[in-house]
């Protein structure tokens, strides 16, 4: 399992940012921006929506940081903001009628980001292709999951939150988190098997 690097300086930065230190605040944004963006991106599979949520989250963080009482709960606090904006965005998108050409445009943006992201990494074309293909399939598999399961899986698998932290973020019991995780993983497993995705078909390195 992939370990998310701990951020020991975060507590100190939060304390400084709470006192209104703009450098600390900017540093905090820099540290967490990528995480929140990736969290939202995996949730929506859409760059524009992920950017929207990320920006709103950090604006809200800047506004409300002073009201954060316990600095050690910053992580769950930040993810809770992001999760709330994700729900809001879903509601908003349901209400909104999207022009077809707008969708095309956002797809282009996605491709652009994917391309820049892959070229930035190692230049093994085989691995790149496998990566892109697997990523597309994983995107589709995650999209199939019910929203609450999807969010829990993303927080656990990609953001490395503890079960207790996820419970805190989503204001649900730890048992609910565990059960959602279990069902989500079961569904994903079934879905991937249906697409014939396994260790053998996808050549990855561990």
Partner 1 sequence: MSYKPTNEDLAAYLYGELDESTRAQVDQYFKEHPEARTELEGMEETRVLMSQWEDEEVPLIPGFIQPHENSEWLYWRKYVAIAATLLLIITFGWVSKFNVSYDENGFRAGFTKSADGLSMEQVADLMAKERENILSEVHSDMRGMQVSIDDNRSFMENSIEKFSELPEDQINNLLNEQKQQILAEMNQLSNKLTDDYREVFRQLVVSFSNNFETQRIQDLRNVEAAFNDLEDAITSKQEVFEEALYNLSVEVDALAPNNNNNN
Find the distance separating the first CA and the last CA of the chain, reported in whole Å: 10
| Stretch of 6-14, 29-37, 66-74, 85-93 lying at the interface with partner 1 (CB under 8 A) | 29-37
Give, as ranges, the residues between 90 and 129 that touch partner 1 (CB under 8 A).
113-114, 116-117, 120-121
183 sits near partner 1 (criterion: CB under 8 A)? yes
Token representation of residue 168? 């805190």
The only residue of 34, 96, 103, 107 in contact with partner 1, by rule CB under 8 A = 34
CB 74 within 8 Å of CB 14: yes
CB 74 within 8 Å of CB 68: yes
CB 162 within 8 Å of CB 152: no
The only residue of 7, 16, 163, 172 in contact with partner 1, by rule CB under 8 A = 163
The only residue of 7, 16, 18, 55 in contact with partner 1, by rule CB under 8 A = 55
42 sits near partner 1 (criterion: CB under 8 A)? yes
43 sits near partner 1 (criterion: CB under 8 A)? no
Burial 20-39 (b: 16+ CB within 10 A, else e): eeeebbebbbeebeebbbeb
* Alpha-carbon gap, residue 44 to 59, rounded angstroms: 20
Looking only at Cα atoms, what is the longest distance across the chain? 54
The only residue of 101, 171, 194, 206 in contact with partner 1, by rule CB under 8 A = 206
* Alpha-carbon gap, residue 102 to 105, rounded angstroms: 5
Binding site for partner 1 (CB under 8 A): 1-2, 20, 22, 25-26, 29-30, 33-34, 37-38, 41-42, 55, 58, 62, 113-114, 116-117, 120-121, 131, 134-135, 138-139, 153, 156-158, 162-163, 175, 178-179, 181-183, 185-186, 188-189, 192, 197-199, 202, 204, 206
């Amino acid at each position: 399992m992939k370990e998310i690097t701990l951020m020991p300086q975060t507590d100190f930065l939060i304390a400084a940012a709470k006192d209104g230190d703009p450098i600390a605040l900017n540093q905090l944004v820099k540290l967490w921006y990528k995480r929140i963006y990736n969290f939202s991106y995996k949730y929506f599979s859409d760059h524009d929506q992920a950017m929207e949520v990320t920006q709103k989250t950090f604006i809200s963080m800047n506004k409300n940081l002073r009201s954060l009482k316990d600095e050690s709960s910053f992580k769950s606090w930040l993810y809770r903001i992001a999760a709330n904006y994700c729900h809001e965005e879903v509601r908003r998108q349901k209400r909104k009628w999207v022009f077809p050409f707008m969708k095309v445009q956002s797809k282009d943006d996605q491709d652009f980001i994917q391309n820049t992201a892959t070229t930035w990494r190692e230049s093994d074309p085989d691995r790149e292709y496998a990566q892109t293909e697997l990523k597309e399939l994983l995107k589709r598999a995650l999209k199939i999951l019910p929203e609450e399961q999807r969010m829990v899986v993303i927080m656990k698998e990609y953001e490395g939150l503890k079960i207790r932290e996820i419970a805190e973020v989503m204001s649900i019991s730890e048992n609910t988190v565990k059960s959602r995780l279990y069902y989500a993983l079961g569904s994903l497993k079934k879905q991937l098997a249906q697409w014939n995705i396994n260790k053998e078909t996808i050549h990855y390195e561990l």
